[in-house]
């Protein structure tokens, strides 16, 4: 099974795959990817869609983008209040 992800999902899914690989080297990329995508789908962060060539793909939902924006804002605030 081959997964087609949009740019946003591809970037973040790859982070999750790397993390899983650190945790367990024997874990298969495909299994992690599918598990992550289904997990995100259940949280409303990812959705499936029909691609231009008629096959299924995965893309980030507006909720995912909102989460990213919130996370960036939190990180910026943390940085501003950090005590170096």
Partner 1 sequence: MLSNPTLSLDPGRFRLRTKPQYSNDALDEDITRLTGAWAALQSSRDRGAVYAFLSVVYELVDWWTVDGKDKSRARRILIRQGIKPPEVTEPFAAVIVAAAHPAILDKRMISKWSRVLRYAAKYKDPSEPLKEFLKHKGGLNACAGRYARRLGRGAA
Please pick, from the candidates 2, 42, 79, 81, the single residue that binds partner 1 as defined by CB under 8 A. Answer: 42
Please pick, from the candidates 2, 7, 24, 81, the single residue that binds partner 1 as defined by CB under 8 A. Answer: 24
Asked if 8 is part of the footprint of partner 1 (rule: CB under 8 A), the reply reads no
List the alpha helices (DSSP H) in the chain: 7-23, 29-42, 62-80
Rg (CA), the chain: 15
Cα dihedral 11/15/16/18 (nearest 10)? 130
- Which residues would be at the binding site for partner 1 (CB under 8 A)? 1, 12, 15-16, 19-20, 23-24, 27, 31-32, 34-39, 41-45, 47-56, 61, 67-68, 70-72, 74-75
């Amino acid at each position: 099974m081959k997964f087609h992800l949009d740019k946003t999902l591809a970037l973040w899914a790859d982070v999750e795959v790397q993390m899983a690989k650190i945790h367990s080297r024997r874990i298969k990329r495909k299994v992690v990817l599918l598990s992550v995508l289904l997990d995100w789908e259940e949280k409303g962060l990812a959705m499936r869609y029909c691609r231009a060539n008629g096959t299924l793909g995965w893309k980030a939902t507006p909720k995912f983008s909102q989460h990213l924006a919130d996370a960036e804002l939190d990180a910026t605030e943390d940085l501003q209040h950090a005590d170096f």
